[in-house]
Structure formats: structure tokens, C-alpha cells
Amino acid sequence: MMLQIPKVLTKAQVAECRAILDAGPWVDGNLTSGFQAARAKTNEQLPQDCDAALRVGEAILQALEANPLFVSAALPQVILPPMFNRYGEGMGFKDHVDNAIRRDPVSGRRLRTDLSATLFLEEPENYDGGELVVNDLYGDHVVKLSAGDMILYPSSSLHHVTPVTRGRRTASFFWIQSLVRDDAKRTMLLEMDVAIQRLARKVEADDEGVLSLTGVYHNLLRQWAEV
């Protein structure tokens, strides 16, 4: 499942976050890269433990918790602290697959990456290139969203960021360990949840069909969730 989640942050929130981030201590992105990433990417990142990353990361986590589409789609068990990167002219990230296991820098706990997320923090007309390209069985999906919008996709996907040729691309990126490991099952649960909500808006609150489908949803989640 690949899903666009609009307006995770409002334009005012984006502006506030950018003011904090732009003043942060940006460094070479490869200072924190593993062997594969170091050969594939050229960008800048904020240190995970700097004040700017922590402040804006907390604001993003609060926004995600209040976003019903994100919660329904990701069924998050753990969200790794958001990280931040930016690509200037000539910078990009070649094809790669995200690491299956990552360490939470706060708790030290190792977590499985089920879903990857990119939250765009620069308006698309302000830079050329810098598209996120995600490959799956149906081909390449090119993503370049408005500031405040986010793309969610399986961490197992091959993907890359095209070189920036004008301006600068700034974004947040992070990973989610879901309650439901299997992407196909998460997709079915999301589709069922959306259908139940649509049906509930058309009938009485105690409609037997809605109650029955809601029960099926939760019983499937109970069977598939790893808590």
C-alpha cells in the first residue's frame, strides 16, 4: 500500500517548523549513513539529538496522533523519532531499500521497519527535481507533494530521490513498526475501516450492518495484531 496523507501539518505549522529547522546545525548526511547509503546519497541532515530536530519531531508526532487517516492506515505500534534532510542542487539519493531493523535513539530498542514516511516541508514549485520515486510491482510512482503533505509506503520498496537541479528540498522522514506486519492485511483493514465509516454516515448509529462489520474489523485486527 502506498498512500498520500494530505495536510498532516497546516501551512502555518510548516512555516513554524521551517523557521526552527533552517536555523539548525545541518551536517553531511553521510555522517550517520551505513555502508549502502553512504555510496548512494548526497544530502544534508540534522543530528537526531539536536534541539531543532527534537522540537519539530515532537510537533510531527503530535500531528500524526491526531490524524485519523494515518492511524487507520499505519496502525502504528511505534513511530521512530522523525529525522530531517535537505537536498541542494546536485544532491540526490540513488536506488536503495530501507534497513529492516533500526534502533530507537531514545530507548535503544531495536524495531522492525514496516512503513516508511516522507513529510514534505518545501512547496514543489520552489525546487526542480527532488522527486521521491517508489518502485513496486506496478512500476515507478513519482511523488512530489505540497508542504505539509506526507507519503506512506512499505519499507520493503525500492526507492530513490532524483537529483535536485534548482532550489532546495527539505523534508522529514521516519519509520513505523505497525501492529500488523503484513502490508496486504493492513491494506484490507484500511479499506474495511474506510467502508465502515462511509456506511455509518448514511445510516443510523445502531445499524446492524455497521455493528456487524465493525465487529469483523476488530476481530481481524485482534487476530493479526502483534502486541
pLDDT grade, residue 209 (50/70/90)? very high
Given a contact cutoff of 8 angstroms between Cβ atoms, the answer to whether 161 and 92 are in contact is: yes
pLDDT score of 90 more than 60: yes
pLDDT score of 137 more than 90: no
Report the C-alpha gap between 149 and 23 in whole angstroms. Answer: 22
Residue 10 in grid coordinates: 497546516
Strand 76-79 to 169-178 pairing = antiparallel
Q: How many CB atoms lie within 10 A of CB 27?
A: 13
Report the C-alpha gap between 121 and 22 in whole angstroms. Answer: 11
Instruction: Average the pLDDT over 83-89 and give the result.
Output: 98
pLDDT, averaged across the chain = 95
Assigned CATH topology for domain 183-224: DNA Excision Repair, Uvrb; Chain A (4.10.860)
Question: Which residues of the chain are in CATH 4.10.860 domains?
Answer: 183-224
Question: Which residues of the chain are in CATH 2.60.120.620 domains?
Answer: 3-178
pLDDT in tens, 138-175: 899 999 999 999 999 999 999 999 999 999 999 999 99
* Dihedral (CA of 88, 91, 97, 99) sign: negative
pLDDT of residue 205: 76
Architecture of domain 3-178: Sandwich (2.60)
pLDDT of residue 206: 82
Percent of the chain with pLDDT over 70: 96
Report how far apart, in Å, the C-alpha atoms of 33 and of each of 26, 92, 99, 220 are.
15, 14, 11, 38
pLDDT score of 33 more than 80: no
Instruction: Average the pLDDT over 108-131 and give the result.
Output: 97
pLDDT of residue 105: 85
Distance in angstroms between the alpha carbons of the first and the last residue of the chain: 22
